Every structure is written in structure tokens, then in C-alpha cells.
Copies of this chain bind each other. A is one copy, B any other.
Amino acid sequence: MKIDSVDFFYLSMPEITLEGDGSQDALLVRVAAGGHVGWGECEASPLVSIAAAVCPRSHGACQPVLDSVLGQALDGTADIARIARLVRRNSLDLLQTAHTLSGIEIALWDLLGKHRSEPVYRLLGTRSASPKTPYASVLFGDTAAETLAKAKGIRAKGFRAAKFGWGPYGQGSVEDDRDQAMAAREGLGPDGILLIDAGAIWIDDLAAARRRVASVEAAGALWLEEPFVSGALDEYKALAQLMSKARLAAGEGSHDTFMARHLIDHGGVGFIQIDTGRIGGIGPAKEIADYAAQRGVTYVNHTFTSHLALNASIQPYAGLAEHRICEYPAEPKAVAYALTKNHLLPGEDGLVRLPEAPGLGMEIDPEAIRRYGVDVEIRAKGETLYRTPRLGP
């Protein structure tokens, strides 16, 4: 097959708030080849990722991403890796490249799976997909009382595990943060799995993070996530050595496999969290899943958007039955939920399973694209480089 077209659809809620809630917009990617269509999703700023796809060339190592994708042969999984290498090489100096590539790469897996009538995880060499324990991923309440109520609500919905993050956490006093952590624990109950996400709030301030370790451990959290930005390896390492019961979790900011490996090898994390919509797609995520498993680090998906992204983020570690926990966007905005017709709903046993259908097995809802679609036009050098495509026949 030859890649005939790559189209981007920018979807958005009518209003975007300043919450740390990544489900407020989405960038869908549609790839067509050999009469098949595959869908993927890029994490983070849709407009910028579109620009990286279509921008005028700056030089040989700073070409628009699409120049290395359109017209390429796609006859097997090795082609996906080859195209990804080509993109990274030809767009080396274009910083946004990895985010744009991610959605395209996911769509290529979906397309190839449909062509072969096989689920993506099987193309990855995974014989059967293990079920995952979803944790409800939500923002901290503005107050500890609000967090308590949220935690109770999550438990009432049937989730055993929950992650609280962002919101006021880390921005007030040590006591405020302790109250928030203890409220989350109280609401989840003593047997709930509690995860705490600092949202990189302390950047690389080891002292600020250290002051929260006692309350994170007192609340019985399984992990403290992203005390620092992804690059602060030395600070991760130092903090990891100060923790006795809880472990560190990080990695969502990884935009290549090197960054994720460094967090494992030099940062001392116990959980490595990969967003397939950022790291370059499913292939590099699978590489990290295998790498983590070999080193006794637990792989976890990072997903705060749609069920298309959720699905793509589970494929890479579907074969790791003991890496059981899975981030599950529990309060997504309407756009994120609406963009697929089917969803990965927890079964009666509370576990989430990948569909057995070909490709990713998700059905995109054209109605959602019409309803939440954003009109975009980018013109440069006298040409229209991008205009929101028609959804097609």
C-alpha cells in the first residue's frame, strides 16, 4: 500500500478553562492507504501540531512532517518504524515533531491492523491482551472537602483506584497538601489504591518535594507522580532515595524513548508513564514497556483525553499482565467522550479490556467531528498550507 492522504481534525469544547484537564480539545489524525482508513490522536496543542505537519521547509533537517509520510509504502510493521525514523531525521530541528508524529504513527497501526484483520496488540507480538485495573484520573478539588467528596463519588462509581492531581496541590502549604492527600485516602477507603500527581509543580526544587514525602506516605499512596519536570533526573533520583513506601512515577513528558529510558536508568522511578500521543506513537511506547519490564519498573499508560487515545495507550503493554494498573479518564469533557462511538468501559469485574476488533477497534463518530470541529486555516508564502478538511463521503 501507499500512504495516499493524512488529514487532521481539530476538535474543541466551546470554552477552554485553565484547569489542568487535557480532555478539552483533541487532534484527530486520519490516514488513508490501500482503501483502508486508520485513526490516531496527538496529545497537546492541536494548532501547533498541524503547523508542524504542513509548515514550509526550513532546511534538510527541518522539513514538515508530512513530507516524510505522504507517498510512503506501508506493507508491514517495519514500514511504520521506517517512516518514524525518516520523520525524526528529516524534522530533527523541528521541536514539535514528536507530537505530530505520534498521532500519525497510531493511525498507521490502526490502518495496518484493519488491512490485516488483526488487533494492533497482535501486530505488536502480543498473543492475548491482559485486562487492566483502571484508575480514575481526576483533578484535586479546590478544597480538601471537595476532594473527599470526589473520592467517595469515584468509589461509588465502582473504581477501586484513583489518582488525584494538579488543582491546588503543591501550590499552598505542606499542611494543605497533607489535608488533600488524607481527604483522598479517606474518600477512597482503606483498601483503595491512591495515587498522587504533583503535575511537575516543583520543577526541580528537591526541598519543596521532600517536604511532602511524609504525607504522601502517611496517606498510603502507591506513587507520587511528577514532582519535577521530565528532565530533572538528578532530583528524581535524590527524591526516590528518600522514599520508603511510595515510589515515584513519571514519564508523560517523554517525546522520545531516550527520555523515558533516562527516567528509568538515571531517575530511579518505580513507574514509567508513557503517553503514546507524545512519545512518537505505539512503536516507541512498546519499546519502553519491554525495557521497563526487563528492569523491574512498572509500565503505566498516560491518558487524559479520549477513548481512542486510551486504547492506543494500552496496546503497548497489553502483553504485560503484571503491569496491571491503567490510567482511565473518569471525568472527560464531552468532546473527548463523544469522538468515538464505542468506549472501553470497565466490565462487571471492574477491569478494562481492549476490543478484539481489527486495528484499534474504535469507531470514530463523524457527528462529533461536525459538532466539535474547529475551523482552521494556515496560509504562508501565498499558499494555503492547511484548511480544515471535509469529513468526506
Contacts and interface: CB of A to CB of B under 8 A. Distances in A.
A255 B376 CA distance: 28
A59 B95 contact: no
Interface string A38-56: 0000011111101110011
A78 interface: no
A47 B51 contact: yes
A21 interface: yes
Copies of this chain, complex-wide, total 2
A99 B92 contact: no
Interface in A88-133: 88-89, 92-99
A17 interface: yes
A60 interface: yes
Contacts of A97: 95
Nearest to A52: B48
Nearest to A304: B59
Nearest to A139: B60
A44 B58 contact: yes
A375 B97 CA distance: 23
Interface in A210-265: 229, 231-234, 253, 255-259, 262, 265
A381 B374 contact: yes
29 contacts: A12-B381, A16-B57, A16-B59, A18-B63, A22-B62, A25-B59, A43-B93, A44-B62, A44-B95, A45-B51, A45-B58, A46-B58, A47-B51, A47-B56, A47-B385, A48-B48, A50-B51, A51-B378, A61-B166, A85-B203, A96-B96, A231-B256, A232-B258, A234-B265, A266-B266, A375-B381, A375-B382, A376-B378, A377-B378
Interface of A: 10, 12, 16-22, 24-25, 43-48, 50-52, 55-63, 85, 88-89, 92-99, 166, 199-200, 203-204, 229, 231-234, 253, 255-259, 262, 265-266, 278, 374-382, 385
